[in-house]
Amino acid sequence: MDALIDGMKVPTSLLDNLYETDLNKSNNLDLEFTLEKDGYIFLRNIIDEKKIKQAREDIFKKLNEVDELSNPFTEGIASGNSNRDKLFNDRGDFWKNVSAIKSLRRVTNGKKLENIFTRIFKTPSVGFDFIFLRAVAGGKFTHMHCDAGFFTRKTHKVLTCWLVFTEVTIDRGPLFVIKNSHKFDDIKEKYNGFDVDKHKNKKATISTHPIDFAKKRNTKILTAEFKPGDALIFGMYTVHGTLENHSKDNKIRLTCDIRFQPKNEPKDPRYFGANPGGTTGAGYGELNSARPLNEDWHIR
Ligand SMILES: O=C(O)CCC(=O)C(=O)O
Protein backbone atom coordinates (compact mmCIF):
# COMPACT_ATOMS: atom_id res chain seq x y z
CA MET A 1 0.00 0.00 0.00
CA ASP A 2 1.48 3.32 -1.04
CA ALA A 3 1.91 6.28 1.28
CA LEU A 4 0.84 9.34 -0.71
CA ILE A 5 1.07 13.03 0.09
CA ASP A 6 -0.42 15.46 -2.40
CA GLY A 7 -0.28 12.80 -5.09
CA MET A 8 3.39 11.96 -4.49
CA LYS A 9 4.47 8.53 -3.29
CA VAL A 10 6.63 8.71 -0.16
CA PRO A 11 9.76 6.59 -0.75
CA THR A 12 9.82 3.68 1.70
CA SER A 13 13.38 4.67 2.64
CA LEU A 14 11.93 7.86 4.18
CA LEU A 15 9.21 6.09 6.15
CA ASP A 16 9.54 4.65 9.62
CA ASN A 17 7.22 3.47 12.39
CA LEU A 18 6.05 5.61 15.27
CA TYR A 19 7.41 4.31 18.55
CA GLU A 20 4.65 2.74 20.68
CA THR A 21 4.40 3.48 24.38
CA ASP A 22 2.66 1.03 26.69
CA LEU A 23 0.63 3.12 29.12
CA ASN A 24 0.37 0.31 31.65
CA LYS A 25 4.11 -0.16 31.78
CA SER A 26 4.96 3.55 31.96
CA ASN A 27 5.05 5.74 35.01
CA ASN A 28 4.42 9.49 34.81
CA LEU A 29 8.11 10.25 34.46
CA ASP A 30 8.42 7.77 31.58
CA LEU A 31 5.61 9.60 29.77
CA GLU A 32 7.26 12.97 30.31
CA PHE A 33 10.59 11.56 29.17
CA THR A 34 9.13 10.03 25.99
CA LEU A 35 7.39 13.27 25.09
CA GLU A 36 10.60 15.22 25.60
CA LYS A 37 12.73 12.71 23.71
CA ASP A 38 10.44 11.96 20.74
CA GLY A 39 8.04 14.91 20.68
CA TYR A 40 5.09 12.49 20.80
CA ILE A 41 3.56 9.59 22.72
CA PHE A 42 1.83 6.89 20.68
CA LEU A 43 -0.71 4.86 22.67
CA ARG A 44 -2.59 1.85 21.34
CA ASN A 45 -6.13 0.91 22.28
CA ILE A 46 -6.67 3.32 25.14
CA ILE A 47 -10.42 3.84 24.70
CA ASP A 48 -12.98 1.14 25.25
CA GLU A 49 -13.95 -0.45 21.92
CA LYS A 50 -17.70 -0.16 22.55
CA LYS A 51 -17.46 3.55 23.31
CA ILE A 52 -15.46 4.23 20.14
CA LYS A 53 -17.90 2.19 18.05
CA GLN A 54 -20.93 3.98 19.49
CA ALA A 55 -19.43 7.42 18.77
CA ARG A 56 -18.34 6.38 15.26
CA GLU A 57 -21.79 5.02 14.39
CA ASP A 58 -23.61 8.05 15.80
CA ILE A 59 -21.40 10.32 13.65
CA PHE A 60 -21.74 8.12 10.56
CA LYS A 61 -25.54 8.19 10.98
CA LYS A 62 -25.52 11.99 10.79
CA LEU A 63 -23.38 11.86 7.64
CA ASN A 64 -25.73 9.28 6.15
CA GLU A 65 -28.72 11.53 6.88
CA VAL A 66 -27.15 14.18 4.62
CA ASP A 67 -26.52 11.48 2.00
CA GLU A 68 -22.71 11.64 2.28
CA LEU A 69 -22.24 8.03 3.42
CA SER A 70 -23.84 5.18 1.54
CA ASN A 71 -25.80 2.33 3.16
CA PRO A 72 -25.03 0.47 5.32
CA PHE A 73 -23.60 3.66 6.84
CA THR A 74 -21.70 1.73 9.52
CA GLU A 75 -19.13 0.89 6.80
CA GLY A 76 -18.20 4.58 6.45
CA ILE A 77 -18.15 4.58 2.65
CA ALA A 78 -18.33 8.00 1.00
CA SER A 79 -21.25 8.21 -1.45
CA GLY A 80 -19.81 11.11 -3.42
CA ASN A 81 -23.07 13.05 -2.85
CA SER A 82 -24.21 15.59 -0.31
CA ASN A 83 -27.49 17.12 0.82
CA ARG A 84 -25.84 18.96 3.71
CA ASP A 85 -26.47 22.43 2.31
CA LYS A 86 -30.01 21.58 1.22
CA LEU A 87 -30.99 20.29 4.65
CA PHE A 88 -29.11 22.76 6.86
CA ASN A 89 -28.95 26.53 6.43
CA ASP A 90 -25.76 26.85 8.41
CA ARG A 91 -22.79 24.52 8.00
CA GLY A 92 -21.42 25.64 11.37
CA ASP A 93 -24.62 24.64 13.19
CA PHE A 94 -24.59 21.25 11.51
CA TRP A 95 -20.98 20.51 12.45
CA LYS A 96 -21.43 21.90 15.97
CA ASN A 97 -24.31 19.46 16.46
CA VAL A 98 -22.27 16.55 15.15
CA SER A 99 -19.38 17.58 17.42
CA ALA A 100 -21.76 17.69 20.39
CA ILE A 101 -22.91 14.06 20.02
CA LYS A 102 -22.94 12.65 23.56
CA SER A 103 -21.16 9.39 22.74
CA LEU A 104 -18.36 11.39 21.10
CA ARG A 105 -18.01 13.80 24.01
CA ARG A 106 -17.98 10.91 26.48
CA VAL A 107 -14.74 9.88 24.82
CA THR A 108 -13.09 13.20 23.86
CA ASN A 109 -13.91 15.01 27.09
CA GLY A 110 -14.31 11.98 29.35
CA LYS A 111 -12.20 10.87 32.30
CA LYS A 112 -10.02 8.38 30.41
CA LEU A 113 -8.20 10.95 28.28
CA GLU A 114 -8.26 13.60 30.97
CA ASN A 115 -6.52 11.23 33.38
CA ILE A 116 -3.78 10.47 30.86
CA PHE A 117 -3.06 14.18 30.48
CA THR A 118 -3.16 14.65 34.23
CA ARG A 119 -0.43 12.02 34.39
CA ILE A 120 1.61 13.73 31.67
CA PHE A 121 1.26 17.25 33.11
CA LYS A 122 1.52 15.95 36.70
CA THR A 123 -1.33 18.31 37.63
CA PRO A 124 -5.08 18.16 36.91
CA SER A 125 -5.77 18.65 33.21
CA VAL A 126 -8.68 19.85 31.14
CA GLY A 127 -9.66 19.15 27.52
CA PHE A 128 -10.66 22.03 25.25
CA ASP A 129 -14.41 22.24 24.61
CA PHE A 130 -13.79 23.12 20.96
CA ILE A 131 -12.81 19.88 19.24
CA PHE A 132 -11.68 19.16 15.70
CA LEU A 133 -13.61 16.15 14.48
CA ARG A 134 -12.45 15.14 10.99
CA ALA A 135 -14.33 13.01 8.49
CA VAL A 136 -11.91 12.72 5.61
CA ALA A 137 -12.87 11.41 2.20
CA GLY A 138 -10.68 10.41 -0.74
CA GLY A 139 -8.07 12.78 -2.18
CA LYS A 140 -7.70 14.77 1.04
CA PHE A 141 -4.86 15.24 3.48
CA THR A 142 -3.75 17.82 6.04
CA HIS A 143 -0.77 19.92 5.07
CA MET A 144 2.34 19.79 7.24
CA HIS A 145 2.47 22.26 10.14
CA CYS A 146 2.95 22.52 13.88
CA ASP A 147 0.16 23.47 16.28
CA ALA A 148 1.80 26.39 18.14
CA GLY A 149 0.16 29.09 16.00
CA PHE A 150 -3.30 27.84 16.91
CA PHE A 151 -3.26 26.98 20.58
CA THR A 152 -0.52 28.81 22.52
CA ARG A 153 -2.04 32.28 22.85
CA LYS A 154 -2.61 31.95 26.61
CA THR A 155 -0.27 29.17 27.65
CA HIS A 156 2.43 27.06 26.05
CA LYS A 157 1.49 24.08 28.15
CA VAL A 158 -0.85 22.60 25.55
CA LEU A 159 -0.75 19.14 23.98
CA THR A 160 -2.67 17.71 21.04
CA CYS A 161 -4.38 14.31 21.18
CA TRP A 162 -5.17 12.78 17.78
CA LEU A 163 -7.78 10.13 18.48
CA VAL A 164 -8.79 7.43 16.03
CA PHE A 165 -12.34 6.14 15.36
CA THR A 166 -11.87 4.08 12.17
CA GLU A 167 -9.20 1.74 10.82
CA VAL A 168 -6.65 4.16 9.38
CA THR A 169 -4.48 2.08 7.13
CA ILE A 170 -1.67 3.75 5.16
CA ASP A 171 -4.01 4.38 2.22
CA ARG A 172 -6.61 6.07 4.44
CA GLY A 173 -4.46 9.02 5.40
CA PRO A 174 -2.92 8.47 8.85
CA LEU A 175 -1.14 11.25 10.69
CA PHE A 176 2.63 11.45 10.31
CA VAL A 177 5.26 13.11 12.45
CA ILE A 178 8.61 14.38 11.22
CA LYS A 179 11.15 12.57 13.38
CA ASN A 180 12.88 14.87 15.90
CA SER A 181 11.16 17.97 14.49
CA HIS A 182 10.32 19.14 18.04
CA LYS A 183 14.06 19.81 18.35
CA PHE A 184 14.42 21.84 15.13
CA ASP A 185 15.57 25.31 16.29
CA ASP A 186 14.46 27.09 13.11
CA ILE A 187 10.92 25.72 13.48
CA LYS A 188 10.76 26.83 17.10
CA GLU A 189 12.04 30.28 16.20
CA LYS A 190 9.68 30.66 13.27
CA TYR A 191 6.50 29.55 15.07
CA ASN A 192 7.13 30.73 18.63
CA GLY A 193 4.87 33.78 19.07
CA PHE A 194 3.09 33.11 15.77
CA ASP A 195 -0.69 33.43 15.97
CA VAL A 196 -2.61 32.21 12.89
CA ASP A 197 -5.53 34.48 13.69
CA LYS A 198 -3.45 37.63 14.21
CA HIS A 199 -0.55 37.32 11.79
CA LYS A 200 -2.56 36.95 8.63
CA ASN A 201 0.42 37.50 6.34
CA LYS A 202 1.94 34.22 7.52
CA LYS A 203 0.65 30.65 7.08
CA ALA A 204 0.75 27.78 9.56
CA THR A 205 1.29 25.37 6.68
CA ILE A 206 4.92 24.56 5.92
CA SER A 207 5.01 24.88 2.16
CA THR A 208 7.97 22.53 1.53
CA HIS A 209 6.70 19.10 0.53
CA PRO A 210 7.18 16.67 3.46
CA ILE A 211 9.32 14.40 1.25
CA ASP A 212 11.77 17.25 0.52
CA PHE A 213 11.56 18.50 4.10
CA ALA A 214 12.51 15.08 5.51
CA LYS A 215 15.23 14.50 2.89
CA LYS A 216 16.90 17.88 3.45
CA ARG A 217 16.97 17.36 7.19
CA ASN A 218 18.13 13.80 6.89
CA THR A 219 15.25 12.52 8.94
CA LYS A 220 12.22 10.26 8.59
CA ILE A 221 8.47 10.49 8.21
CA LEU A 222 7.01 8.48 11.07
CA THR A 223 3.56 6.97 10.85
CA ALA A 224 1.54 3.83 11.61
CA GLU A 225 -1.55 1.89 10.68
CA PHE A 226 -3.93 3.12 13.34
CA LYS A 227 -6.85 1.27 14.87
CA PRO A 228 -9.98 2.61 16.56
CA GLY A 229 -9.11 3.65 20.10
CA ASP A 230 -5.46 4.50 19.35
CA ALA A 231 -4.16 7.98 20.16
CA LEU A 232 -1.14 10.04 19.23
CA ILE A 233 -0.24 12.79 21.68
CA PHE A 234 2.21 15.49 20.64
CA GLY A 235 3.57 18.91 21.51
CA MET A 236 3.05 22.27 19.89
CA TYR A 237 6.33 22.26 17.91
CA THR A 238 6.17 18.70 16.60
CA VAL A 239 5.89 19.03 12.82
CA HIS A 240 3.11 16.80 11.49
CA GLY A 241 0.58 16.37 8.73
CA THR A 242 -1.37 13.49 7.28
CA LEU A 243 -0.93 11.16 4.37
CA GLU A 244 -3.58 11.30 1.69
CA ASN A 245 -6.71 9.19 1.84
CA HIS A 246 -6.61 7.30 -1.45
CA SER A 247 -8.35 4.10 -0.38
CA LYS A 248 -9.91 2.20 -3.25
CA ASP A 249 -12.94 1.24 -1.15
CA ASN A 250 -13.87 4.95 -0.59
CA LYS A 251 -13.91 4.48 3.18
CA ILE A 252 -13.50 7.73 5.07
CA ARG A 253 -11.04 8.39 7.86
CA LEU A 254 -12.73 9.49 11.09
CA THR A 255 -10.46 11.04 13.72
CA CYS A 256 -10.72 13.84 16.24
CA ASP A 257 -8.02 16.14 17.56
CA ILE A 258 -8.52 17.45 21.05
CA ARG A 259 -6.23 19.76 23.00
CA PHE A 260 -5.42 19.43 26.68
CA GLN A 261 -3.73 21.75 29.16
CA PRO A 262 -3.22 21.95 32.92
CA LYS A 263 -6.39 23.21 34.62
CA ASN A 264 -4.45 25.90 36.46
CA GLU A 265 -3.06 27.53 33.29
CA PRO A 266 -4.93 30.46 31.69
CA LYS A 267 -7.58 29.33 29.21
CA ASP A 268 -7.97 30.69 25.71
CA PRO A 269 -11.68 31.69 25.58
CA ARG A 270 -11.78 30.86 21.88
CA TYR A 271 -11.73 27.17 22.78
CA PHE A 272 -13.71 26.96 26.01
CA GLY A 273 -17.35 27.40 27.01
CA ALA A 274 -20.73 26.49 25.55
CA ASN A 275 -20.28 28.47 22.35
CA PRO A 276 -16.59 28.64 21.53
CA GLY A 277 -15.60 30.66 18.47
CA GLY A 278 -12.61 28.49 17.55
CA THR A 279 -9.38 29.78 16.04
CA THR A 280 -10.85 32.64 13.99
CA GLY A 281 -14.02 33.21 16.00
CA ALA A 282 -16.20 31.83 13.20
CA GLY A 283 -17.12 28.72 15.24
CA TYR A 284 -17.47 25.20 13.87
CA GLY A 285 -18.27 26.59 10.43
CA GLU A 286 -14.59 27.46 9.92
CA LEU A 287 -13.47 23.84 9.99
CA ASN A 288 -12.77 21.85 6.87
CA SER A 289 -15.05 19.17 8.29
CA ALA A 290 -17.99 21.59 8.16
CA ARG A 291 -17.69 21.25 4.39
CA PRO A 292 -19.55 18.42 2.70
CA LEU A 293 -17.38 15.32 2.29
CA ASN A 294 -17.35 15.81 -1.48
CA GLU A 295 -16.02 19.40 -1.33
CA ASP A 296 -12.36 20.55 -1.35
CA TRP A 297 -10.62 21.85 1.78
CA HIS A 298 -9.06 25.23 2.57
CA ILE A 299 -5.43 25.63 3.65
CA ARG A 300 -4.44 27.66 6.73
O1 LIG B 1 -6.33 14.84 11.24
C2 LIG B 1 -5.89 15.70 10.51
O3 LIG B 1 -6.20 15.76 9.29
C4 LIG B 1 -4.95 16.75 11.03
C5 LIG B 1 -4.69 16.65 12.51
C6 LIG B 1 -3.77 17.70 13.01
O7 LIG B 1 -3.14 18.41 12.28
C8 LIG B 1 -3.64 17.86 14.44
O9 LIG B 1 -4.17 17.03 15.19
O10 LIG B 1 -2.99 18.83 14.86
**What is the β-pairing status of strands 159-164 and 132-136?**
unpaired
Identify whether 26 is part of a domain.
yes
- Would 201 be classed as within a structural domain? yes
Please give the pLDDT value at position 106: 98
Q: State which residues form the domain around 286.
A: 4-290
The reply to whether 296 falls in a domain is no
- Please answer whether residues 125 and 263 qualify as being in contact, where contact means their C-beta atoms are separated by less than 8 angstroms: yes
Q: Is 134 in the pocket of ligand 1 (CB under 6 A)?
A: yes
* Beta bridge partner(s), residue 162: 232, 257
pLDDT along the chain (300 residues), means of 10: 95 98 96 98 98 98 98 98 96 97 98 98 98 97 97 98 98 98 98 95 94 98 98 98 97 98 98 96 94 85
Residue 209 has a pLDDT of 97
Q: What is the structure's pLDDT at 94?
A: 97
Q: How far, in Å, CA of 93 to CA of 285, rounded?
A: 7
- Looking at residue 297, its pLDDT comes to 83
Query: Tell me, what's the pLDDT at 12?
Result: 97
CATH code of the domain in which 76 resides: 2.60.120.620
Whether 297 maps to a domain, the answer reads: no
**Closest residue CA from atom 9 of ligand 1:** 257
Residue type, 83: N
Q: What is the CA(117)–ligand 1 centre distance, in A?
A: 18
Nearest atom (ligand 1) to Cα of 142: 3
Distance CA 67, CA 269 (A): 34
Strands (E), the chain: 4-5, 8-9, 15-17, 20-21, 40-43, 125-127, 132-136, 159-164, 175-178, 221-223, 231-234, 240-242, 253-262
**pLDDT score recorded for residue 296:** 86
Q: What is the pLDDT of residue 26?
A: 97
Is residue 100 a part of any domain in this protein? yes
Residue 298 domain flag: no
How many structural domains is the chain composed of?
1
- The best mutation among 132, 232, 234, 237 to test binding of ligand 1, ranked by most ligand atoms within 8 Å of the C-beta, falls on 132
Does some domain include residue 243? yes
